[in-house]
Structure 1
Amino acid sequence: MSSADEVLDVVDRDDVVVGRARRGDVYARGMLHRCAFIQVRDARGRLFVHRRTAGKLVFPSLYDMFVGGVVGAGETYDEAALREAEEELGVYGLAAPEFLFKFLYDDGAGRAWWSAVYEVRCDTAVEPQVEEVAWHAFLPEDEVLRRLTEWEWVPDGLDAYTRLRAFRDVG
């Protein structure tokens, strides 16, 4: 089954499930759905950063400071966060990511989704999925901040990162 055939819950502006549809249809029709964003840090506090593969349905070849993805039909945000983190990092037995906050991402051009932001620590070596990750590294946060203007980042991840920095400044 291709990723376009994966079934997702369709939600409303209040994040209430109102139906189900194939991922390809959800994207093509701009239907609201759910995503999980997980910020991963290593034992030294560095952030996992990666460049997405060229074959990704959304934001191919762009950089991201989160792992994650869509929440499948009938799946909770928490379940999706752990599944996505383990799959993308190639690490199993990871601690459950900690939920931080949720927001509605809307690019103003017909693409919008509910976004749950998590964090998790990964102290073991990672082996990212080659289908998902073209390049990766754990980078110090000051380097990530420098790269924000140098690299082309996924817009939803950049929005989540900005919100996460504000969340931490307040909390």
Structure 2
Amino acid sequence: MAEWVERVDEQDEVLAVVDRAEAIRRRWLHRVATIVCRDRAGRILVHRRPDNMSRFAGQFNWMLGGATEAGESYEEAAARELSEELGVRGQPRFVLKFRCAGVVSPYWMGLHEVVVEDQVRPDPSEVAWHAWLTERELADLVRHEAFIPDAREAYDRYWATAANSKRP
């Protein structure tokens, strides 16, 4: 079944609606929305992908997310992914956007964050394990070889943005 996404250019302007598999195969830019989840104490949700995933099987990530569907904004996609992957409703707040070279294919990443106040119910087809880590614990884990490389790039950009905005 096709997953329709918007092929975009170097300025993130829409060129066409295409099948995501084709966008990846041809290395066309498209959009991905991600979410950093924090709890009330400020800890960050980290998860491991299931071993049977086609991409990044068994690897760690500190973001949830996925492709932005055709006609969907980054913010709408982030809220949808939060619900699908964690069973939580919320309005993730946009933090930054950047062109990610991507291990599999290049894409524009819209990174969001949200404070999760409800109990999470991770979808086992997306999340094999999860834990709430402190910023220090995450900083140690992010350099581990089992951490998704694209997520490591996002981590570095996120903290550079946080430092520039004087976020706590």
Q: Please say if 1:115 is aligned against 2:109.
A: yes
Q: Please say if 1:61 is aligned against 2:58.
A: yes
Letter in 2 for 1:101: L
User: 1:138, 1:64 → 2: CA distance?
Assistant: 12
**Aligned-pair identity (%):** 38
TM-score, scaled to structure 2: 0.92
Letter in 2 for 1:152: A
User: 1:88, 1:15 → 2: CA distance?
Assistant: 25
**1:1-171 equivalences in 2 (<5 Å):** 1=1, 5-92=2-89, 94=90, 96-107=91-102, 111-171=105-165
User: 1:29, 1:53 → 2: CA distance?
Assistant: 26
1:60 Cα offset (Å): 2.1
Verify the 8 A CA contact 2:85 2:126 in the aligned structure 1: yes
Moved over 4 A (4+): none
User: 1:119, 1:22 → 2: CA distance?
Assistant: 27
Number of equivalent positions = 165
User: 1:46, 1:138 → 2: CA distance?
Assistant: 6
TM-score, scaled to structure 1: 0.91
Verify the 8 A CA contact 2:141 2:147 in the aligned structure 1: no
| Structure 2 unaligned residues grouped into runs of 5+ | none
Q: Deviations over 1:138-160 (max 9, x none)?
A: 11111111122335111111111
